[in-house]
Amino acid sequence: MAIQIRGGNALNYRGDVLLLFHPSDVKPLAGTLALLDWRCNAAVSILWKRKPDLFKFGQLTVLATQGKVPTPTVILTGLGSGEEFGRDLRKEAYRLALDAAVKLGAGKFALEGIPLAGVHEKGVLDDLVAAARPFEKNGRFNVSFFSTDKDFTLSLRTGDGSVASSG
């Protein structure tokens, strides 16, 4: 497994699956998810209106992008209420999303970090690595992590599970 940190917009990523996350108590949609919604003719907003528990914690929804973005599939993962959300739930949200991507046969996928108040982005990546470790046995896959904080690098090699970070 390789994790690559990138800048830019995750919707421009060319891969198998894009993993996006959203809390249940934040309206309207914001950031990358709002842009995806706009590009897909309000598909996410319409789905959320019809299915109010769309962003309940652990709820997974697979969307076909129908050519609206370069990545053909998006997996939405609900984060539940922001008041209840912490590092343990963030790791579990990453694990659930990664598991869904692997089950779809994704070899290359991208995600944005799930921020938490008071936690530096390095902590976000530490949680992603912890969630990804069980999937190392599934063979080679690449994760692109879209970040605004590019003052460090992180690599995770398949096999020995070693992690190196610098910056």
Q: Give yes or no for residue 5 having a pLDDT over 80.
A: no
Asked if pLDDT for residue 135 goes beyond 70, the answer is yes
Rounded Cα–Cα distance for residues 148 and 132 (Å): 21
Nearest to 19 by CA among 103, 83, 87: 103
Q: For 114-135, what is the mean pLDDT?
A: 76
DSSP state of 77: E
Give residue for tokens 């990804």.
132
**Average pLDDT, stretch 1-28?**
88
In CATH terms, the fold of domain 2-166 is Leucine Aminopeptidase, subunit E; domain 1 (3.40.220)
Average pLDDT over residues 14-18: 93
Per the prediction, the chain carries an average pLDDT of 83
What is the model's pTM? 0.85
The token pair at 31 is: 């950031």
CA atoms of 65 and 70, how far apart (whole Å): 8
- Residue 16 is classified by DSSP as S
Q: What is the pLDDT of residues 30-67, one digit of tens each?
A: 889 999 999 999 999 999 999 999 999 999 999 999 99
pLDDT for 139: 64
